[in-house]
Chain A
Amino acid sequence: MQDLLRRYGTGLTLIMCLLVAFWLLMLVIVPNITLFEQSFRPYLPVSEVGGPRDTYSLGNYAKVFEGHITTSLLGFEFEFPVRVRTFLLTIWYSMVVAGLCLMLAYPLAYYMAKIVNPRSLPTLILLLFIPLWVSEVLRAFAWWIILAFKGPLNALLLAVGLIDDPIRWTNMGYTGVMIGLIYTYVLFMLFPIYNAIQSLDTNQIEAAEDLGAPWWKIHWRIVIPHAKPGIASGSVMVFMLSAGSLLVPSILGSTTSQWFTQTINETFNDALDWNTASAYAFLLLILCTLFVTVAMVLFRVKLSDIAK
């Protein structure tokens, strides 16, 4: 603060602080508090808002258990609340996305940090970043075109002879959604892991090899433990971003894929039931946070590690 005052003077410092305070208060805290408050009130006609029926309850949260459908798991058929099913599938596929991102990003991060010639590293990073210059919507649509029934991916696979008939990529459950989410968020996994591996002393890798470690044990005992904070923060980010993504599931989703954010969005914008929608949104936020916290405790990762 002293530093800011000395560098920019009182006037400019005041303006900056006020702008940040405005942004934080009016654009983040107040809307969230408003929605949080609304989520406990029933959805009523305007004339009844503030009337005797407008009381606080957990009714909106309980609505997530309404509306059963027949679902099957491991061959058993049973009735299950449709929104809970959507929610669990969202969590599950977000985890799968995070896992696949990890599998893609770890080798690449190791390659970038320890193997590639440092002179070609800037080019490599640029190549990875260029897709980020394009808006997320356009990138999702690009994948929609690539994955289309008569699109380039099917054409390529047919030409190579890997498949005999074209595949309906975006109409196979969550396949399209997962491809889109992995593509969109893999860099959020890559860079934390890259940073972590880069800080590993190369001599340690060599020492392990010199002591007789095969390559996979070098990774298992030396590199991965060192990169754990990076892996944790990458996984948390990809998981949270995936679970909270609306755009990719909307564009690349199939008739049988429903993301929980889509449920929230439909309740907000189609049913215009802001109260229930707020309740769903906070359920997603709270349960995802809880899930991440439990995962962090299980994997013995500290919050301060992730902040790094």
Chain B
Amino acid sequence: MSAGIDLENVCCDFGSFRAVDHANVSIKPGEFFSFLGPSGCGKTTILRMISGFIEPTQGVIRIGGKDMRGQRPNQRPTALIFQNLALFPLMPVWENISFGLEMRGVSKTERRAKAEELLRLVDLPGAGDKMVSQLSGGQKQRVAIARALAVEPQVMLLDEPLSALDLKLRQHMRAELRAIQKRTGVTFIYITHDQGEALAMSDRVGVMSHGRIQQIADPREIYNNPVNGFVASFVGENNIFSGEVQTSAAGMASFSTPHGSFRARLGDIGGHKVAKLYVRPEHTVISATAGAENAIAATVGDVSFEGNFITVHATSDSGAHLTSEIRNDGSATVPEKGARVFMSFDAARASILQDANERA
């Protein structure tokens, strides 16, 4: 009941602006796939092309192996959940849910039964006769999901549906969405600018910027091994040092910067020498004595307590701003403001990548 989706060299132009630039991605049946990127990166355009509201300027979109060119949204086996949900306010909940079935000519009693069944699936039993305006934000969310599931789509497309909810509800709905996806086995394509959502829910994530898909990988790979500076800095925090590659061997390189010389993994920098080194705050260690390698002498500035972790802001002797995160597990000693420390990191946890602004 679920279909795979293939995008081959898909481009979309709005006038002279290229919103999507040669997108190539193959999404497996039953996969939870997220497109992650800042606003204006073209992720919504991709979603609207898959659902059929926009025709690609060039390239092919296949759903379940079938070329979708010229197919209107009402002819495609997809169901879209809109950012603002777009529930029909003049209809009661059950009519909303069974709208797709009504369009297929299903009888009223059958529709009513199906709506009730779907309401149980999304944990809202008995809400069928309420009006949409009587529901809370999270309940509307569930109705929108039920409405989309009612037409038994092979692909569900979700356009940032959680963005209007408050934090607690959002986290709850994340788990809920994931559970519904597992239960129904439908392919989910999820659009978001929230890295937390994308990483927590997805089987695979496609990170986008400027209309291009920068990296497609599972969430761990995206976070731990970003392919370029954009992915590294968009997904998670970083300490970034500009510098030049000196020597490299076996995937590791020595990298000289104004703040010292470091060793780190060498990413794809396209033969350039000038690049940037990215290391995550939680991959750094603050200690009183310098380690064997990759240590920067610094003075502690602000120390902010975040609950489960402690963020230490420090300024290196060479003037770089450093951020380090220490887990609040009771064992770590938290440095005082003004203390002289060394920040160091493991070479295997730092990557040398091309600049975030560099367009490949």
Contact = CB atoms under 8 A, between A and B. Distances in A.
B86 interface: yes
Interface in B74-110: 74, 78-80, 82-84, 86-88, 90, 99-100, 102-104
A217 B86 CA distance: 17
Contact of B53 (A206, A208, A217): A206
Contacts of A217: 103
B72 A206 contact: no
Contacts of B73: 206, 209-210
A221 B51 CA distance: 21
Nearest to B53: A206
B285 interface: no
A20 interface: no
B74 A225 contact: no
Given A203-B82, A217-B103, A221-B99, A210 B51 contact: yes
Nearest to B102: A221
Nearest to B159: A203
Interface string A203-218: 1101111111110010
B142 interface: no
A219 interface: no
Nearest to A205: B86
Contacts of B90: 225-226
Contact of B74 (A201, A212, A221): A212
A201 B83 CA distance: 12
Interface residues of B, number: 24
A214 B74 contact: yes
Contacts of A207: 80, 82, 86-88
A211 B86 CA distance: 12
Nearest to A206: B53
Interface in B189-216: none
A39 to B, nearest CB: 44
A110 B79 CA distance: 25
Contacts of A225: 90
Most B CB atoms within 10 A — which of A206, A211, A225?
A211
A204 B87 CA distance: 7
B103 A201 contact: no
Nearest to A204: B86
Given A210-B51, A212-B74, A203 B104 contact: no
B100 A222 contact: no
B147 interface: yes
A209 B72 contact: yes
Interface string B101-124: 011100000000000000000000
B151 A211 contact: yes
Nearest to B80: A210
Contacts of B151: 211-212
Interface string A223-254: 00110000000000000000000000000000
A211 B104 CA distance: 9
Contacts of B84: 201, 203
Most A CB atoms within 10 A — which of B83, B86, B90?
B86
Contacts of B72: 209
Given A212-B151, A221-B99, A201 B79 contact: no
Contact of B79 (A210, A213, A222, A226): A210
Contacts of B53: 206, 210
B104 A212 contact: yes
Contacts of A210: 51-53, 73-74, 78-80
Given A210-B78, A211-B74, A222 B103 contact: no
Contacts of B99: 208, 211, 213, 221
Given A211-B147, A217-B103, 13 more contacts: A201-B84, A203-B82, A206-B53, A207-B82, A208-B99, A209-B73, A210-B74, A211-B99, A211-B100, A211-B103, A212-B74, A213-B99, A221-B102
Sorted nearest first, the 9 A-B pairs with minimum C-beta distance are A203-B86, A211-B100, A207-B86, A212-B103, A210-B73, A212-B74, A203-B82, A213-B103, A210-B80
Interface of A: 201, 203-204, 206-214, 217, 221-222, 225-226
20 contacts: A201-B84, A203-B83, A204-B86, A206-B73, A206-B86, A207-B80, A207-B82, A209-B72, A210-B51, A210-B73, A210-B78, A211-B79, A211-B151, A212-B100, A213-B74, A213-B103, A217-B103, A221-B88, A222-B88, A225-B90
